[in-house]
Structure 1
Amino acid sequence: MKKYLAELIGTFSLVLFGCGTAVVSGISSTGPAGVGLLGISLAFGLSVVVMAYAIGPISGCHINPAITISMFAAGKIKSSDAIGYIIAQFVGATLASGVLYVIQSGAPNFVMGEWALGANGWGPGYLGSYNITSAFVTETVLTFLFVLVIFQTTAKWGNSNMAGLAIGLTLVLIHLVAIPITGTSVNPARSFGPAIFAGGKALQQVWLFMVAPILGGLLAAFVWKGVFENSVEV
């Protein structure tokens, strides 16, 4: 249960810090606290760095169903643990979104928008208005790269002391590219939580942020197993 609780807390923190930054003081902010695209990207990436060192020794700090499924596919986690991790991650993301909703509902003139609480999406009316093809390709390819970095940096020949920082910085880079396209998911739980509260198009479109990251993660697992796992440069 310690591992599952750690995953719940880690995912809760990722969503609260990341989506909270986007909603409270991000791109749409009109006040002096606006942090923009770079600030939001750093919030998500630094959340992973902090949690990697806080809960990594307990659960491995997946805090992302796409990572857990990829680890299972690569034979690095048992099915029973994978199921427990995924449930904990979705619960953590949903609780964080609920807390963010309570906080935001106290703001003057608060109205739940179509993609509220940092929900992911695509199409007309959503940030850069990119189409579904752009959204799917973005989420699949960037999750593939993200998970491949995780496999490589946490391998037996990797630098375990620096893995959390490398993974977090990779997530920063991913957000810098993907925020205008999809708001950046690469994490089904991160998308699910806000969508449940936002409803509308966010909930209608959440399927893409379940399928594409899992597909990208599985591709990374297969490439890792087939190409890199037993290959060490001499």
Structure 2
Amino acid sequence: MAETAETAPRRTVLESIDVRTVVAEFLGTLLLVFFAVGSAVLGAEYVGTVGIALSFGFVLLALAYTFGQISGCHLNPAVTLGMLMARRITPRTALEYVVAQLLGGIVGAALLFLVAKQVPGLETSGGFGSNGYGYRSAVGINIFGAFVAEILLTFLLVYVYLAVTRNLVLIGLAGLPVGLCLAVVSLVGIPLTGASVNPARSFGPALFAGAEAMTQVWLFLIAPLVGGALAALVHGVTHPAEPVGVARTATETAE
């Protein structure tokens, strides 16, 4: 006998969540923050700006090959917003991703903070890999310049994500341009704002950097989302979409 709405077993919220994709986004964001931001917190004097930028790019590249076929390896609410606007995921899936990414960023920053506290003489307050403008920028960029820069940097990253993914997942060599793109935008963005392009990457470290970082973090939550939305709009014009159908979850796409 076919199930009806009345006879079908009720599912709890947790039972209806795709655990694999949520865990992939949580763990991936945690690792991105710990290792990539960690290169700035623990090794800036040894690797410099180029080394930090390459750390971000290489970590994302490795994670793209690890989680790309599970969740698409967004690890970034701006990328998830772009995918949502491109109708590649449902609003519910997007919400699950963003919550997992924010929690992953916080836990990754907490673990990094724990390790940093074990290094004698290492100052964690004030900087701690957080983003900033004005006196918190290496070049002193003002608030307007920082906002524009973050929009443009995120635009490029999300645009590349949309261009190299057919539906949602990253397969084959698709992880390579994504990783290289993050390295490039980091090279440009680190002297300007510390290169956010990712609200989850910014929010976690800001929590442990102190009040000054928290007063500026709003910009690095909003500007990347604007950049991601613009990337989705422009991509829809330059890359005509497949016939629009029902948005797919990562699991459905992998099948």
| TM-score over 0.5 (shorter chain) | yes
Change (3 A) 1:188 1:125: closer
Residue 190 (structure 1) aligned with residue 205 (structure 2): no
Query: Conserved in 1, the CA contact under 8 Å of 2:28 and 2:67?
Result: yes
Q: Partners of 2:69 and 2:214 in 1: how far apart?
A: 34
What SS does structure 1 have at the residue aligned with 2:110? Answer: helix
The structural deviation recorded for 1:19 is 0.6
Q: Partners of 2:240 and 2:161 in 1: how far apart?
A: 12
Q: Partners of 1:142 and 1:193 in 2: how far apart?
A: 20
Which residue does the alignment assign to 1:82? Answer: 94
Residue 108 (structure 1) aligned with residue 120 (structure 2): yes
Gaps of 5+ in 2: 1-18, 243-255
* TM-score with structure 2 setting the length: 0.84
The runs of at least 4 aligned residues of structure 1 exceeding 6 Å deviation read none
The structural deviation recorded for 1:230 is 4.2
What SS does structure 2 have at the residue aligned with 1:128? Answer: coil
Q: How does 1:1-234 map to 2 (within 5 A)?
A: 1-26=19-44, 29=45, 34-115=46-127, 117-155=128-166, 160-230=171-241
Q: Partners of 1:126 and 1:184 in 2: how far apart?
A: 10
* TM-score with structure 1 setting the length: 0.91
| Amino acid of the structure 1 residue aligned with 2:181 | T
Deviation sequence 1:156-205 (CA, Å, 0-9, x none): 7xx94111011100111101101001000100000000011112121111
Gaps of 5+ in 1: none
Q: Which protein is bigger by CA-based radius of gyration?
A: 2
Q: Partners of 1:197 and 1:44 in 2: how far apart?
A: 20
- Name which of structure 1's ranges 222-231 and 83-92 shifts more when overlaid on structure 2: 222-231
Deviation sequence 1:66-115 (CA, Å, 0-9, x none): 00011111100011111110000001110010011111111112433322
| Amino acid of the structure 2 residue aligned with 1:172 | A
What SS does structure 2 have at the residue aligned with 1:58? Answer: coil
- Name which of structure 1's ranges 127-136 and 48-57 shifts more when overlaid on structure 2: 127-136
